[in-house]
Amino acid sequence: KHLPRYLAEFCYRFNRRFWEPQMFNRMITACLNAQTVTFSELRQ
């Protein structure tokens, strides 16, 4: 049920080790561009 989100988290954590110098800028950009996910949407 929640496997795609867990897999996405694993892929993110695995891949982020290659861009550590730019991590802060990428994180800010990702946060600004991401849509809000409510708890009820997460549970679906």
For the question of whether the overall pTM of this predicted structure is more than 0.85, the answer is no
Question: Quick one: CA torsion of 33, 4, 42, 10, rounded to 10 degrees?
Answer: -70
Cα–Cα distance between 44 and 27 in angstroms, integer? Answer: 26
Q: What is the pLDDT of residues 19-39, one digit of tens each?
A: 777 888 888 999 999 999 899
* DSSP calls for 1-44: --HHHHHHHHHHHHHGGGGGGGHHHHHHHHHHHPPP--HHHHH-
Give the model's confidence band at 7: pLDDT under 50 very low, under 70 low, under 90 confident, else very high. very high
Going from N- to C-terminal start, the domains of the chain cover 3-43
Give the Cα-Cα-Cα angle 19, 20, 25 (nearest 5 degrees): 85
